[in-house]
């Protein structure tokens, strides 16, 4: 006491740090003494704390700057309990003003009180910031204080848990008050349950782990149904990028020893659980191989290429054509392929049907809008194909109409059927026993027929070699994009048309080899 009071007796206000330096005492001893003497009204303290910027050298870490708050102390004289020295107001201790329940509310007190007053639910850090924004609470204020209380066991903080660290959720960390009146184990369980309720419709763990659990469920579901699940299906179900799905699948195969992977045709990845019987596995694999042959084989590729040929010629020779587009769940599907809705099932189609292209043309400012609907088929076309296309149009919501005479195609809707060739030997017998050709029958239904010979004629008029046909382009091109590129190139450079096809043939050798592999197996 004598040493502290001796340095204060000079009359100059001093801070605790200055008193420590002058007395040589430990800082804790000086702080305790100043607080005790202030409560005994032996010394005076500034009414409000002072703030000062400090710079501390931390070696290789550089210089740290901090805002330090501190009080000045002065010896009490006979002038009273409140004096002014050097422009600062000093006061003595007053239990009614300076007790703990009457002290100034800090940001930490406000945050802690908010959590105590709402113990029945968990809050994201961003929610606390928004709720207490009126008293200038910032995100850094929340987490800096919450981490101190977490060490003391007052709150539970939850985020994405990884192997070596924890990261915040999208809305920030989840924070919940731990009830001290309940046994510790029960209080922690209650706090975790509150965070689970807050995460009821959100990802409760790391996204990769979430995907791993989802992959496990998908494979288990498929195996229970005696099926194998493809990697493409997993990507679509997870709604993530291919790279993220690759990481999740590799992790799932490491964590779960009952998951198995097999490759069909050495190219397509499929997964199953090891409890699937051997004969059931062989049956499931055989079904998937047949499906791959249909969807990835030569016939499927050429059929889609034929659609691109018809589209290119229509776009090239139709003035003012505006094609419809549609977003599909499968990103590989051409946006110009349109799904229409049926009011009645037709030929096995129950609710929906697909048409290859739809485009609109306005002939003139006083002419009505004409909508053309295209259907393509590679191979020989029969009457049943034309009838099926007609039924799809008239029973669709988009192109059909209910009239007095029955369901008919709307006015201004024209069907276009593009085929490699139409059966010349097939005639249609009418009700009056009169026989007409397939072309005349389609014309009566207001359906236009486009043949490969029509497209070839346009190329030959341009000066393209007669050795080049659209059929050959469809067989050589890898996909629809390459079909359009080849047609554009030979249209601009008709003399080099054979060179373009030879180049494409050499580029696509791997495609032909794979299709040959599918045909062999």
- The answer, yes or no, to whether residue 101 has pLDDT greater than 60, is no
Rounded to whole angstroms, the Cα distance separating 377 from 303 reads 7
Which is it for strands 43-46 and 72-75: parallel, antiparallel or unpaired?
A: antiparallel
The position carrying tokens 């010979």 is 453
Rounded to whole angstroms, the Cα distance separating 472 from 501 reads 9
The position carrying tokens 């509310």 is 105
- The answer, yes or no, to whether residue 259 has pLDDT greater than 50, is yes
CATH class of the structural domain 2-102: mainly alpha
Rounded to whole angstroms, the Cα distance separating 110 from 145 reads 11
Give the tens place of pLDDT for each residue, 417-476. Answer: 888 777 777 888 877 778 888 888 888 888 888 888 889 999 999 888 888 999 999 989
- The answer, yes or no, to whether residue 514 has pLDDT greater than 60, is yes
Give me the helix-helix angle, 509-520 and 298-317, nearest 10°. 140
| Contact predicate 445/417, CB 8 Å | no
Q: What average pLDDT does this structure show over 60-66?
A: 77
The token pair at 390 is 């007609």
- The answer, yes or no, to whether residue 521 has pLDDT greater than 60, is no
More confident residue, 206 or 379: 379
Residue 95's pLDDT band (boundaries 50, 70, 90)? confident
Q: How many CB atoms lie within 10 A of CB 142?
A: 25
374: nearest Cα among 326, 412, 341, 337: 337
- The answer, yes or no, to whether residue 207 has pLDDT greater than 80, is no
What are the contacts of 245-248 at 24+ separation with CB within 8 A? 245/211, 247/208, 248/208, 248/211, 248/212, 248/215
- The answer, yes or no, to whether residue 104 has pLDDT greater than 60, is no
Rounded to whole angstroms, the Cα distance separating 422 from 173 reads 67
Rounded to whole angstroms, the Cα distance separating 97 from 376 reads 90
| Contact predicate 477/486, CB 8 Å | yes
Rounded to whole angstroms, the Cα distance separating 222 from 229 reads 6
* pTM for the predicted model, two decimal places: 0.52
Give the tens place of pLDDT for each residue, 161-174. Answer: 766 677 787 788 88
- % the chain with pLDDT above 70: 94
CA count, 13 A, side-chain hemisphere, 203: 20
Give the tens place of pLDDT for each residue, 2-38. Answer: 788 888 877 788 888 888 888 888 888 888 888 888 8
CATH assignment of 299-514, given 3.40.50.720, 2.40.100.20, 3.40.1350.10, 3.30.70.20? 3.40.1350.10
Q: Please compute Rg for the chain using Cα positions.
A: 41
- φ, ψ for residue 24, nearest 5 deg: 80, 10
Domain with CATH 3.40.1350.10 in the chain: 299-514
Average pLDDT value for the chain: 84
Query: Lowest-confidence range among 10-14, 182-186, 268-272, 497-501?
Result: 10-14
The token pair at 302 is 């050429």
- φ, ψ for residue 463, nearest 5 deg: 105, 10
- pLDDT recorded at residue 195: 85
- % the chain with pLDDT above 90: 8
Q: Which CATH number applies to 207-296?
A: 1.10.10
How many secondary structure helices (H) and strands (E) does the chain include? 20, 26
The token pair at 69 is 């708050």
Give the tens place of pLDDT for each residue, 372-417. Answer: 998 888 878 888 888 898 999 999 999 988 888 888 888 889 998 8
Domain with CATH 1.10.10.10 in the chain: 107-198
Q: What average pLDDT does this structure show over 271-288?
A: 90
Strand ranges across the sheet with 229-230: 229-230, 268-273, 259-264
Give the tens place of pLDDT for each residue, 105-157. Answer: 678 888 888 998 888 889 988 888 888 888 778 888 888 888 888 888 899 99
407-422 in b/e form (b: 16+ CB < 10 A) is eebeeebbbbbbbbeb
More confident residue, 250 or 379: 250
- pLDDT recorded at residue 172: 84
First to last CA, the chain: 99
146: nearest Cα among 136, 158, 133, 163: 158
Fold of domain 107-198: Arc Repressor Mutant, subunit A (1.10.10)
The position carrying tokens 């930490």 is 108
- pLDDT recorded at residue 175: 92
Residue 102's pLDDT band (boundaries 50, 70, 90)? very low
């Amino acid at each position: 006491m004598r040493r502290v009071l001796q340095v204060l007796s000079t009359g100059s206000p001093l801070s605790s740090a200055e008193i420590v330096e002058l007395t040589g005492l430990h800082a804790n001893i000086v702080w305790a003494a100043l607080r005790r003497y202030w409560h005994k009204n032996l010394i005076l303290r500034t009414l409000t704390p002072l703030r000062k910027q400090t710079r501390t050298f931390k070696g290789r870490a550089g210089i740290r700057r901090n805002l330090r708050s501190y009080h000045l102390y002065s010896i009490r004289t006979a002038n009273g309990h409140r004096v002014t020295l050097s422009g600062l107001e000093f006061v003595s201790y007053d239990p009614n003003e300076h007790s703990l329940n009457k002290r100034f509310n800090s940001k930490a007190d406000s945050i802690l009180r908010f959590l105590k007053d709402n113990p029945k639910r968990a809050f994201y850090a961003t929610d606390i910031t928004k709720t207490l924004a009126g008293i200038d609470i910032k995100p850094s204020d929340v987490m800096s204080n919450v981490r101190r209380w977490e060490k003391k066991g007052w709150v539970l903080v939850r985020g994405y848990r990884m192997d070596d660290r924890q990261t915040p959720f999208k809305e920030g960390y989840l924070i919940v008050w731990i009830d001290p009146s309940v046994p510790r184990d029960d209080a922690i369980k209650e706090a975790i349950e509150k965070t689970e309720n807050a995460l009821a419709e959100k990802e409760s763990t790391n996204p990769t782990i979430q995907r791993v659990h989802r992959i496990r469920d998908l494979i288990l579901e498929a195996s229970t149904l005696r099926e194998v699940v493809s990697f493409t299906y997993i990507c679509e179900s997870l709604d993530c990028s291919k790279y993220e799905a690759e990481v999740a699948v590799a992790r799932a195969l490491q964590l779960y020893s009952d998951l198995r992977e097999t490759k069909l045709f050495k190219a397509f990845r499929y997964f199953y659980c090891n409890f699937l019987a051997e004969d059931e596995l062989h049956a499931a694999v055989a079904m998937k191989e047949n499906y791959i042959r249909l969807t990835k084989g030569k016939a499927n590729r050429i059929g889609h290429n034929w659609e691109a040929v018809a589209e290119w010629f229509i776009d090239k020779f139709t003035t003012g054509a505006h094609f419809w587009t549609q977003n599909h769940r499968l990103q590989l599907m051409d946006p110009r392929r349109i799904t229409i809705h049926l009011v009645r099932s037709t030929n096995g189609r129950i609710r929906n049907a697909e048409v290859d292209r739809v485009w609109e043309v306005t002939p003139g400012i006083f002419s009505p809008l004409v909508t053309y609907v295209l259907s393509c088929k590679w191979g020989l076309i029969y009457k049943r194909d034309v009838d099926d296309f007609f039924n799809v149009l008239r029973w669709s919501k988009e192109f059909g109409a209910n009239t007095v005479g029955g369901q008919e195609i709307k006015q201004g809707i024209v069907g276009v059927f593009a085929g490699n060739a139409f059966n010349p030997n097939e005639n249609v017998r009418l009700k009056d026993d009169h026989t007409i050709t397939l072309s005349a029958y389609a014309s009566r239904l207001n359906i236009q027929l486009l043949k490969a010979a029509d497209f070839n004629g346009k190329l030959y008029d341009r000066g393209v070699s007669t050795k080049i046909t659209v059929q050959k382009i469809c067989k050589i091109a890898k996909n629809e994009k390459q079909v359009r590129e080849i047609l554009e190139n030979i249209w601009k450079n008709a003399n080099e048309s054979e060179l373009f096809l030879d180049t494409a043939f050499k580029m696509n050798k791997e495609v032909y080899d794979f299709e040959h592999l599918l045909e062999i197996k």
